[in-house]
């Protein structure tokens, strides 16, 4: 008879890691080069990449195998330049500090694809809404450097709605709100690029945006050229004020997609029509790199019984989790931005007679499941001022590595027991991420045979939140508190 080994893991306190292995913070210890380990760019367009590296500063970087046209700043770890020739380029990176060095490999793919791993960064809307300024963007960039988020891969800083005036200028161009951006968008882009970030911006496939300022309908080529000249690297393209017709949406999104592709920049295209016209079936063909699959996220655990028609974290998982077959490198399902650490303090995404805000364990489940679903990770909290408990969720390198895995497979739910769901995400080199989520209101016991993850015999098990190797097991038995998610990384014995 086959022997079954049980491991009992009881979560009674959120974030309990007292018995785990020591895990250095972002700016402690030896260098650790973090993902992504594969990046894409169009030929003949600007390439910007800050090597995401944890470890004590000061640190220096060296590289071998950079394609012609790229250079490395050895003191900042930022690679910039323009590669004219398409091709796959293998680059050897060495990061070194007082504690030692680490060697890593980066694949730079110059060709037709961008966003080879899910986009990571920050977006202004969820917390700040209309309170958007040049100062906020610059302060956010400096905060992402100071708190280590850039060194974990958060490299897009996205300006959302209300950066522009309501009416287009007499010359046919969108008018930047000079009270918010007195030195213009190009100044902000240049500032971010010098620090290894990329800039995202927002518009709408209608005359006006969701907030009622100037959209891009009929001026797609003009606006795309302006965005490129300013140094924009990502466009979030909304659909407020546009006809409900799927055919119309496809035409309008294709028009902007073609305009973006005709510029001299590698601009990632976010199609944001809230999943109403099933964009996962057509967004890739019109130039999209990731597409919203649901209505806007709210800072809440579950809103199904609220009667509001709004979407909390669980509601979105139920929709996005069914769409794994449509995702892959360069093309991602987008279950909307992260609400980790907002704690109900948003006038932009929270409305109605609902109590908003989540607990830390709920935010950790939110982060866990977005990583399991290979979703874009765009934080929306005030990163200039957040407690360490929130920062630790957003900067866990092990959960981020699951999200940024270069195989690019969206995880799927494979089994449900009571209110507990078991999810599997295949990883590069034969490893597997396994998540067990208790979405219910009571503690649950759940058995997890590792055959569900494709392991015939024992697997080596590591808890990515405890940062702890647990040992070799054939099966696990977990005792989960309400709203807790355990994420394990499994390796063949």
CB 171: neighbour CB atoms within 10 A?
7
Q: Which two tokens stand for residue 78?
A: 């930022």
Q: What band does 469 get if pLDDT is binned at 50, 70 and 90?
A: very high
pLDDT number for residue 118: 99
> For the segment 254-301, what is each residue's pLDDT rounded down to a tens digit?
999 999 999 999 999 999 999 999 999 999 999 999 999 999 999 999
CA–CA distances in Å: residue 459 to residues 3, 220, 411: 14, 52, 19
Bridge partners of 204, per DSSP, are 238
pLDDT number for residue 349: 84
Active-site residue, selected from the candidate residues 151, 160, 161, 296 = 296
If you average pLDDT over every residue of the chain, what do you get? 94
Output the CA torsion sign for 314, 35, 334, 134.
positive
- Residue 41 makes CB contacts below 8 A (sequence gap 6+) with 47, 83, 108, 109, 110, 114, 266
Active-site residue, selected from the candidate residues 223, 238, 299, 334 = 238
Q: What letter would DSSP give residue 241?
A: T
Residues 294-318 have a mean pLDDT of: 95
- Domain 8-22+411-492 is of which CATH architecture? Sandwich (2.60)
To the query of whether residue 419 is one of the catalytic residues in this protein, the response is no
Residues 391-413 have a mean pLDDT of: 98
Kindly tell me if the per-residue pLDDT of 3 is higher than 70.
Answer: no
Bridge partners of 485, per DSSP, are 437
> For the segment 351-362, what is each residue's pLDDT rounded down to a tens digit?
777 889 999 999
Kindly tell me if the per-residue pLDDT of 105 is higher than 50.
Answer: yes
To the query of whether residue 238 is one of the catalytic residues in this protein, the response is yes
120-403 placed in CATH 3.20.20.70: yes
Please report, rounded to a whole number, the percentage of residues in the chain having pLDDT higher than 90.
Answer: 91
> For the segment 129-173, what is each residue's pLDDT rounded down to a tens digit?
999 999 999 999 999 999 999 999 999 999 999 999 999 999 999
Q: How many helices (H) and strands (E) does the chain have?
A: 9, 26
pLDDT number for residue 298: 96
pLDDT number for residue 346: 87
Cis peptide preceding 222, ω within 30 of 0: no
Radius of gyration in angstroms for the set of CA atoms belonging to the chain, rounded to a whole number: 22
Q: Is this prediction's pTM over 0.75?
A: yes
pLDDT number for residue 22: 57
Q: What CATH superfamily is the domain 32-110?
A: Immunoglobulins (2.60.40.10)
> For the segment 182-234, what is each residue's pLDDT rounded down to a tens digit?
999 999 999 999 999 999 999 999 999 999 999 999 999 999 999 999 999 99
Where along the chain do its domains lie?
8-22+411-492, 32-110, 120-403
Domains 8-22+411-492 and 32-110 share a fold: yes
């Amino acid at each position: 008879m086959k022997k079954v080994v049980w491991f009992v893991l009881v979560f009674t306190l959120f974030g309990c890691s007292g018995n785990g292995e020591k895990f250095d913070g972002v700016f402690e210890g030896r260098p650790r080069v973090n993902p992504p380990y594969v990046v894409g760019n169009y030929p003949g367009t600007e390439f910007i990449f800050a090597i995401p590296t944890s470890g004590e500063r000061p640190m220096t970087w060296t590289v071998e195998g950079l394609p012609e046209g790229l250079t490395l700043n050895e003191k900042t770890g930022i690679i910039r330049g323009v590669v004219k020739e398409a091709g796959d380029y293998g680059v050897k990176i060495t990061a070194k500090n007082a504690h030692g060095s680490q060697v890593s490999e980066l694949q730079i793919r110059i060709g037709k694809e961008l966003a080879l791993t899910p986009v990571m960064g920050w977006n202004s809307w969820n917390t700040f809404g209309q309170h958007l300024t040049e100062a906020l963007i610059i302060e956010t960039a400096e905060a992402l450097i100071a708190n280590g988020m850039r060194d974990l891969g958060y490299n897009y800083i996205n300006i959302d709605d209300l950066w522009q005036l309501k009416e287009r200028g007499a010359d046919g161009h969108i008018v930047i709100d000079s009270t918010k951006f007195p030195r213009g968008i190009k100044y902000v882009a240049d500032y971010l690029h010098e620090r290894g970030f990329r800039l995202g911006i927002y518009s709408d496939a209608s005359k006006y945006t969701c907030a009622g300022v100037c959209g891009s309908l009929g001026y797609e080529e003009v606006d795309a050229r302006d965005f490129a000249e300013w140094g924009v690297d990502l466009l979030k393209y909304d659909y407020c004020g546009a006809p409900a017709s799927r055919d119309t949406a496809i035409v309008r999104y294709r028009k902007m997609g073609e305009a973006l592709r005709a510029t001299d920049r590698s601009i990632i295209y976010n199609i944001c029509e809230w999943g109403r016209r099933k964009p996962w079936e057509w967004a890739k063909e019109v130039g999209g790199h990731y597409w919203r699959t649901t209505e806007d996220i709210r800072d809440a655990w579950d809103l199904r019984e609220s009667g509001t028609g709004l979407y909390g974290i669980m509601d979105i998982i139920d929709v996005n989790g069914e769409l794994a077959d449509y995702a892959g490198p360069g093309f991602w399902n987008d279950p909307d931005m992260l609400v980790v650490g907002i704690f109900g303090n948003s006038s932009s995404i929270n409305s109605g007679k609902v109590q908003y805000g989540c607990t830390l364990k709920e935010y950790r489940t939110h982060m866990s499941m977005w990583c399991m679903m290979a979703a874009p990770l765009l934080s929306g909290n005030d990163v200039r001022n957040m407690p360490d408990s929130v920062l630790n969720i957003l900067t866990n390198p092990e959960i981020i590595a699951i999200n940024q895995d270069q195989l690019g497979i969206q995880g799927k739910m494979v089994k449900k027991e009571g209110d507990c769901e078991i999810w599997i995400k295949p990883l590069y080199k034969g490893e597997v991420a396994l998540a067990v989520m208790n979405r219910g209101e009571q503690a649950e016991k759940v058995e997890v045979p590792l055959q569900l993850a494709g392991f015939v015999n024992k697997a080596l098990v590591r808890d990515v939140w405890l940062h702890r190797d647990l040992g070799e097991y054939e099966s696990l038995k977990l005792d989960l508190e309400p709203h807790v998610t355990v994420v394990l990384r499994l390796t063949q014995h």
